[in-house]
Amino acid sequence: MQNDVLELRSFYSRPLGGIVRRLLTQRIRARWRSAQGCRLMGLGYAVPYMGMFRGEAVRLGAVMPASQGALVWPSAGNVLSVMADEAMLPLPDASVDRLLCVHCLEVAEGAGPLLREMWRVLAPEGRLLIVVPNRRGLWARFDTTPFGHGRPYSRGQLERLLTEAMFTPLLWTSALYMPPMDRHWLVRWATAFERMGARLWPGFAGVIIVEARKELMGALPKGKPAKGKTELVPARGLFKGCP
C-alpha cells in the first residue's frame, strides 16, 4: 500500500522525519556535490531533498505519481511540481541529466516500465540516484514510516532490475541504522547510531542508495568479428552532460 502525499508530508514534519531528511540529504549530497548546469528532476516524493539544488540546477522539477497525489512545490514562487502517470512521464526523450527517485520504485505498479521511462528521459550517460527500503532492515518491517510501505529490495534484486533496464550501478551506500521510532532521546542519538551501524551491522540499514548510469548500446564493430556480425558495446564517453 502506498502512502498518500499528505501522509508523506506529515512524516517529514515530525522529528523523526526531520532526522531522516538530514541523514539522507548528507548521503545524496556526498554523491552529487554540485548540480551546476544540470537538468535535475525528482520522482516520487523527492521534494524534501531537492531544495539544496535550487540555485544550482539549470532546470529543476518534481514529478509525483498520480497514485500518490501531488503537492504544490515550492510553496512560493513558480510551481515546479506536476502529477503524472508513472509509466508516462511528461518529459521529452533525453531531457534530464540527473534523476532523484525517493518513495518511488518500491511503490510503483510496475518497476520495469517505470525504469524504462527513467531510461527514456535521461540524457546519454545521465545519472539516476535511487533510495529504496532495504529488505533486511528494520524500517521495512514497520509501517509507521513511508519506508515500511511497498516492496523492499535487496542489493541483488535492485542490481538485476537496473541491469535489465540498461543502467550500470556505479556506487552503493546505505543509511538509517537507528530504529524507526519517533522518540526524542533516540532522535538525539541518530548520528551515533549511523556511525555504529555502518561499522557493526552494515547489512541491516533502513535504506539502500544506489547511483546508476544510463547506458547506450550500439552495433559497433570491435576487432574483426565474423562476416555479417557485430558486437554490442557500450557507447561510453561519446556524450557530455553536466559535471
Note the pLDDT tens digit of each residue in 158-208.
Answer: 999 999 999 999 999 999 999 998 887 777 888 888 888 888 888 899 999
Could you tell me which residues are beta bridge partners of residue 231? 220
Nearest C-alpha neighbor of 175 from the set 220, 130, 213, 215: 130
Q: What share of the chain is helix, strand, coil (3-state, %, to 5)?
A: 35, 25, 40
Give the pairing type, strands 39-44 and 96-102. parallel
Within 8 A by CB and 6+ apart from 93, the residues are: 120, 121
Q: Which domains does the chain have, with CATH numbers?
A: 5-234 (3.40.50.150)
Give the pairing type, strands 167-175 and 217-220. unpaired
Q: Is the distance from CB of 212 to CB of 170 less than 8 angstroms? A: yes
pTM: 0.88
Residue 61 in grid coordinates: 522539477
Distance separating alpha carbons of residues 82 and 74, to the nearest angstrom: 11
pLDDT top residue among 105 and 243: 105
Taking 80 as the threshold, does the pLDDT of residue 55 lie above it?
yes
